[in-house]
Amino acid sequence: MFPIIYDFGEINIFGFSFHPVINSYGFMLMLAFYSCYYLLNKDLKNQGHKPSLAGDIIFAAAVGGIVGSRVYFILENFEEFIADPVGMIFSGGGLVFLGGLIGGLLAVTYVINKNQLSWFMVADHVAPLLILGYAIGRIGCLLVGDDYGLPTHLPWGIEFPNGIPPSTYRVFQTQYPWVDISNFTPGVLKVHPTQIYETLLGFGIFYYLFSKRKFVRVPGSLFFSYLILAGLERFFIEFLRINQKYFIGLSGAQLISLAMFSVGLWFIFNPIAQLDEHAADKD
């Protein structure tokens, strides 16, 4: 685990003391946003769009994503929110991707409408970048010991003694009582490094979608392909994660993943262009 990339130490300027550090999770988030901006800006410039458009889209996605992820986190931990609303709102944790996806899409939709652009054209450009940002962000989760999976005896299991929270027997007993740890002994437990699984799957999905971006014939098809692939990826990974299953044996993330998959699949078989033609025929 490397929660801090570089510690500058104590710095004193004009009587004020500072202790700046470069946090690994924050650094990976910054890397994710700048990588997405670079690729989006390059594509939009090649299509003749104004230079500021990519920046506006990425900024809206960042703000909307942070707000959306925080709202999702509060809803999933509503009892803790009632007990400490200020602490929950302003805590450093709780950046849930699926909530961020919803919030980011709403914010980007505002930018699209403001610039009178085609929603599906922009969505197809952004689709590969969504999974790229997700994959890079998961590296940040690995570095700080967050969002790990179930305890395992597999040789590639990883211990997170200083994780968020630590992957200890006691933590699983108190914070995740629904997880079966009867086959494990007290101490620091090895867990599935689901962050690595998702990073590898995310990069694979990104490569596939990015290679297809110049061959989109039906508006929205790349974005709906993203919904299908990202939905499937998260749905199956959830079986290895510690999130509580509370509806027909599924977690909240799995329910949203099923919705993503269903919407994507429906529009793949009922393309936007086809729906527009049917509407024109009725007119």
Write the CA distances from 171 to 132, 156, 163, 188, 229, integer angstroms. Answer: 32, 21, 11, 9, 33
What pLDDT is stored for residue 71 in this prediction?
81
C-beta of residue 123 within 8 angstroms of C-beta of residue 272: no
What pLDDT is stored for residue 232 in this prediction?
97
Instruction: Please give the backbone phi and psi of residue 149, each rounded to the nearest 5 degrees, phi first.
Output: -105, -160
C-beta of residue 191 within 8 angstroms of C-beta of residue 231: no
Write the CA distances from 167 to 148, 150, 280, integer angstroms. Answer: 8, 9, 58
Contacts of 61 (CB under 8 A, 6+ apart): 36, 104, 107, 108, 126
Q: The whole model's pTM is what?
A: 0.86
What pLDDT is stored for residue 100 in this prediction?
81
What pLDDT is stored for residue 204 in this prediction?
98
What is the 8-class DSSP label of residue 243? P
Residuewise pLDDT in 10s, the chain (283 residues):
788 888 888 888 877 888 888 899 889 989 999 999 999 999 999 988 988 999 999 999 988 888 888 787 777 666 665 666 655 454 445 456 667 888 888 999 999 999 999 999 999 999 999 999 999 999 999 999 999 999 999 999 999 999 989 999 999 999 999 999 999 999 999 999 999 999 999 999 999 999 999 899 899 999 999 999 999 999 999 999 999 888 899 998 899 899 999 999 999 999 876 555 444 445 4
C-beta of residue 121 within 8 angstroms of C-beta of residue 44: no
Residues 76, 253, 191: CA angle, nearest 5 degrees:
95
Domain-wise residue ranges, the chain = 24-149+192-282
HEC per residue, 133-189: HHHHHHHHHHHHCCCCECECCCCCCEECCCCCCCCEHHHHHHHCCCCCCCCCCCCEC
